[in-house]
């Protein structure tokens, strides 16, 4: 049985870091052999590579410490960074070597801010064993990790070639089809891993396979996490949350309640309860995530901002817009600090704040926030990207509420054009946009056009989400409302984690 497909998800993450990240710390967990094979696959001119296992490189760059070669010294990274000041991305290979003692790890922890002040993309390649030691004894350094990727120790050429064959954006129609094909290949693995567990009638998860080690179970969680992400990208939310419940059980049992990976699982689970409309339960999981993060991460860590944003989204969904704005503002304060500038959620925060102001009928403040989101997206995103479509949709909604239907149609058409190119017609976002275009036509008094778009939205939503899904039910109610000359309801397309 071939289980090597899991590295593709890590390659996606590494490519995202190289192409999109502006600065920050990132961890790649792999064996010595695997670290070098991964690094050799990347030859971009913006990348400089320091390999702690290559003593000749130390000599070439005046970094070799003849007296104490195996202990961590900040000056090694400092001199390397100065020698490659024109480079944006630093690959630091075999980072596990200079840490034979706990004192070395303490010294790394103390030099965190000095490394961060270089304002580069630091990608630290290390073994999983060192990452766990950093979590235990270098919490400040560990907390600055924006993304952690884990690679299995297998041949990578075929996996890398498959990655290179995919187009630049995960959201293209071609990519959606690729994801579905990969899900089909994962199916045997998914079924086997899920057979290790059973879910009791009360919803609790139990381990059936008692012969599995902790490391095997954590590897299982990582693979299921990859599969869950694929299901999320294709809109198969029920399958996603079933996997997330298993992942949370594994991490909570093995890693405990004071580990950032457990917090991530609480966060992900909370998000999906929110998507199901169980807002109180979502807030319960977010609160657990936030408690862990405040204990194990620095207060300015972007993961905390993500949780604060998610809490704001849930309050928004509950209709408590003032409370939502309160949490959005807290998240924005973190993301706007110097270290976190360029973090990919900041345009989403502006979008979410705009939505809340729109609900409060503060239309000028709503448009101001949406314009800030578009400004950031102009810098960081392709012209054809779902997040841009979401912002267009939000602006259209404001104009709808202001009664400027001409401008509303204009922005809904821009939304629809982008979505057709990036996710295709058979997608929940496209259905939601059709619904919202119908809303604009209804408000303008064009009931015939409104019904046409609602029928299209119904067809797509029933096909993708099913007739009982909340979005489908809203669309069906809207059809009845238009026939009865009542006001239809908007479907959200833009709340962002």
In sequence order, which residues have a C-beta less than 8 Å from that of residue 489 and are 6 or more positions away? 439, 474, 477, 478, 481
Q: Does domain 346-497 have CATH number 3.40.50.300?
A: no
Tokens matching residue 259: 């580990």
Q: What is the mean pLDDT of residues 189-207?
A: 90
| pLDDT higher than threshold 80 for residue 339 | no
Identify the band that residue 89 occupies on the pLDDT scale cut at 50, 70 and 90. very high
Q: How many CA atoms lie within 13 A of 170 on its CB side?
A: 15
Instruction: Choose between 158 and 464: higher pLDDT.
Output: 464
Instruction: Choose between 164 and 17: higher pLDDT.
Output: 17
Identify the band that residue 356 occupies on the pLDDT scale cut at 50, 70 and 90. very high
Cα dihedral sign, 42-45-46-49: positive
pLDDT at 37: 82
Q: What is the mean pLDDT of residues 73-85?
A: 90
pLDDT at 4: 32
Instruction: Choose between 45 and 89: higher pLDDT.
Output: 89
The b-or-e profile of 124-162 (16+ CB within 10 A means b, else e) is bbbbbebbebbbebbbebbbbbbbbbbbbeeebeebbee
Listed by start position, the domains of the chain span 4-165, 167-254, 346-497
Identify the band that residue 41 occupies on the pLDDT scale cut at 50, 70 and 90. confident
Identify the band that residue 420 occupies on the pLDDT scale cut at 50, 70 and 90. confident
The answer to whether domain 4-165 and domain 346-497 are alike in fold is no
Q: Could you give the CA distance from residue 13 to residue 30 in angstroms, rounded to a whole number? A: 14
In terms of Cβ atoms closer than 10 Å to its own Cβ (0-12, 13-18, 19+), residue 28 is buried
Q: What percent of the chain has pLDDT over 90?
A: 34
From 394, 381, 382, 369, select the one nearest 342 (Cα to Cα): 381
In sequence order, which residues have a C-beta less than 8 Å from that of residue 121 and are 6 or more positions away? 17, 18, 21, 22, 23, 24, 26, 88, 89, 90
pLDDT at 161: 39
Q: What is the mean pLDDT of residues 381-391?
A: 77
Task: Choose the weakest-confidence range: 94-98, 124-128, 295-299, 341-345.
Answer: 341-345
Q: For the chain, what is the mean pLDDT?
A: 82
The count of other CB atoms within 10 Å of the CB of residue 299 is: 9
| pLDDT higher than threshold 60 for residue 236 | yes
Identify the band that residue 184 occupies on the pLDDT scale cut at 50, 70 and 90. confident
3-state secondary structure of 26: strand
Do residues 312 and 327 make contact, with C-beta atoms less than 8 angstroms apart?
yes
From 422, 389, 405, 417, select the one nearest 492 (Cα to Cα): 389
Strand pairing of 197-199 and 205-207?
antiparallel
Do residues 307 and 286 make contact, with C-beta atoms less than 8 angstroms apart?
yes
pLDDT at 9: 67
> Looking at residue 231, what DSSP letter applies?
H
Q: What is the mean pLDDT of residues 457-461?
A: 89
pLDDT at 49: 94
- pTM for the model stands at 0.58
Task: Choose the weakest-confidence range: 138-152, 243-257, 291-305, 364-378.
Answer: 138-152
Q: What is the mean pLDDT of residues 134-159?
A: 76
Q: Where are the beta strands (DSSP E) in 140-249?
A: 145-150, 197-199, 205-207
pLDDT at 467: 84
pLDDT at 212: 87
Identify the band that residue 395 occupies on the pLDDT scale cut at 50, 70 and 90. very high
Q: What percent of the chain has pLDDT over 70?
A: 84
pLDDT at 487: 54
pLDDT at 64: 47
pLDDT at 293: 95
| pLDDT higher than threshold 70 for residue 56 | no
In terms of Cβ atoms closer than 10 Å to its own Cβ (0-12, 13-18, 19+), residue 257 is middle
pLDDT at 167: 31
pLDDT at 59: 57
Query: What is the architecture, at CATH level 2, of domain 4-165?
Result: 3-Layer(aba) Sandwich (3.40)
Q: What is the mean pLDDT of residues 263-278?
A: 86
3-state secondary structure of 100: coil
| pLDDT higher than threshold 90 for residue 290 | yes
Identify the band that residue 8 occupies on the pLDDT scale cut at 50, 70 and 90. low
Residue position matching structure tokens 């949350």: 241
pLDDT per residue over 18-32, tens digit each? 888 888 999 999 887
């Amino acid at each position: 049985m071939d289980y090597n497909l899991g590295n593709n998800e890590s390659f996606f993450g590494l490519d995202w870091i190289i192409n999109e990240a502006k600065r920050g710390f990132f961890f790649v967990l792999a064996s010595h052999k695997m670290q070098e094979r991964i690094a050799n696959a990347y030859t971009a001119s913006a990348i400089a590579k320091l390999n702690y296992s290559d003593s000749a490189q130390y000599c070439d760059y005046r970094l070799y410490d003849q007296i104490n070669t195996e202990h961590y010294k900040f000056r090694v990274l400092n001199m390397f960074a100065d020698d490659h000041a024109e480079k944006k991305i630093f690959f630091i290979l075999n980072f596990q070597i200079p840490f034979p003692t706990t004192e070395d790890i303490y010294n790394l922890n103390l030099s965190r801010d000095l490394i961060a002040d270089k304002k580069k993309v630091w990608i630290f390649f290390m073994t999983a064993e060192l990452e766990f030691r950093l979590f235990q004894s270098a919490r400040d350094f560990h907390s600055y990790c924006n993304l952690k990727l884990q690679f299995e120790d297998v041949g990578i050429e075929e996996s890398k070639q498959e990655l290179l064959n995919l187009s630049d954006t995960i959201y293209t129609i071609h990519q959606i089809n690729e994801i579905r094909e990969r899900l089909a290949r994962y199916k045997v693995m998914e079924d086997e891993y899920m057979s290790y567990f059973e879910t009791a009638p009360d919803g609790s998860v139990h381990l059936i396979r008692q012969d599995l080690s902790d490391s095997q179970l954590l590897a299982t969680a990582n693979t299921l996490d990859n599969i869950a992400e694929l299901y999320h990208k294709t809109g198969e939310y029920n399958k996603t949350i079933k996997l997330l419940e298993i992942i949370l059980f594994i991490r909570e049992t093995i890693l405990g309640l004071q580990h950032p990976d457990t917090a991530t699982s609480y966060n992900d689970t909370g998000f999906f309860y929110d998507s199901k409309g169980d807002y109180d339960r979502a807030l319960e999981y977010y609160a657990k995530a936030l408690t862990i993060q405040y204990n194990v991460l620095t207060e300015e860590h972007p993961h905390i901002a993500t949780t604060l944003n998610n809490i704001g989204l849930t309050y928004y969904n509950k209709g408590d817009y003032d409370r939502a704005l309160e949490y959005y503002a807290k998240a924005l304060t973190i993301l706007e600090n110097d270290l976190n500038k360029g973090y990919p959620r900041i345009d989403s925060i502006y979008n979410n704040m705009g939505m809340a102001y729109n609900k409060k009928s503060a239309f000028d403040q709503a448009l101001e926030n949406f314009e800030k989101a578009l400004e950031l997206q102009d810098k960081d995103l392709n012209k054809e990207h779902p997040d841009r479509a979401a912002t267009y949709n939000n602006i259209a909604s404001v104009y709808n509420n202001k009664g400027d239907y001409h401008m509303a149609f204009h922005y809904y058409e821009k939304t629809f054009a982008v979505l057709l190119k990036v996710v295709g017609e058979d997608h929940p976002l496209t259905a939601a946009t059709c619904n919202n275009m119908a809303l604009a036509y209804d408000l303008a008094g064009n009931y015939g056009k409104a019904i046409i778009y609602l029928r299209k939205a119904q067809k797509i939503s029933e096909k993708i989400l099913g007739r009982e899904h909340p979005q489908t039910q809203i669309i069906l109610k809207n059809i009845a409302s238009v026939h009865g000359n009542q006001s239809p309801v908007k479907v959200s397309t833009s709340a962002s984690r």
